[in-house]
Amino acid sequence: MSRAQKPTVVLVHGAFADASSYAAVIPGLLQRGLNVVAPAVPNRSLIGDAAYVSSVIRQIDGPVVLVGHSYGGAVITVAGVEDNVQALVYLSGYALEAGESLGELQGRFPDSDLAAALVYTPFPIEGSDTPG
């Protein structure tokens, strides 16, 4: 990897959002000659989502700058251990301390009104029997 090689910017969206959240940002990054990837994070679990983003990062040849918004900040904190990650950028994102869980971090603050409105729905696992 050359020092002059520009990084690929990987934009990780928050929960209750999708990669289109970055639609206004991507053209400006591209105009600056940066490669940009905005994966659709599954939003199923922090460990699962970080594993998915890590799999995207491992496919990138060269340095990576991870950008995470909101919940995406927690995702990049976990996925940011990949060898080619050069920097983590938090956009109003959750920045976990070493060994800290997202629940521990959120538990230090009052619940938002959104939390009361959430409807938790189990998702079937591929290959399992689903009611129908």
> Does any domain span residue 122?
no
Please give the tally of structural domains in the chain. Answer: 1
> Does any domain span residue 124?
no
Tell which wins on pLDDT, 129 or 32.
32
Q: Does 131 have pLDDT greater than 70?
A: no
Look-up of token digits 């009611």:
131
Confidence of residue 27 (pLDDT cuts 50, 70, 90): very high
- What range defines the domain where residue 76 resides? 8-117
CATH number at residue 20: 3.40.50.1820
Q: Provide the whole-model pTM.
A: 0.79
> Does any domain span residue 3?
no
3-state secondary structure of 17: coil
> Does any domain span residue 101?
yes
Q: Does 102 have pLDDT greater than 80?
A: no
What are the E-state strand segments in the chain?
A: 8-12, 35-37, 64-69, 85-91
Spatial CA neighbour of 93 closest among 114, 78, 115: 78
